[in-house]
Amino acid sequence: MMAGQIKHTHRKRAMIEYGKKEREFYLRECLYFMNKYRNKETGKIHRQTQSTPVQLNNLLRGMVNDFRLIKKDRNGTYWRYIGDEEE
Query: Are the CB atoms for 67 and 79 separated by under 8 Å?
Result: yes
Query: Are the CB atoms for 37 and 81 separated by under 8 Å?
Result: no
Q: How far is the C-alpha of 67 from the C-alpha of 16, rounded, in Å?
A: 9
How would you write the pLDDT of the chain (87 residues) with one tens digit per residue?
A: 566 677 899 999 999 999 999 999 999 999 999 999 998 889 999 989 999 999 999 999 999 999 999 999 998 999 999 987 654
User: What pLDDT is recorded for position 83?
Assistant: 85
User: What pLDDT is recorded for position 40?
Assistant: 86
pTM for the model: 0.85
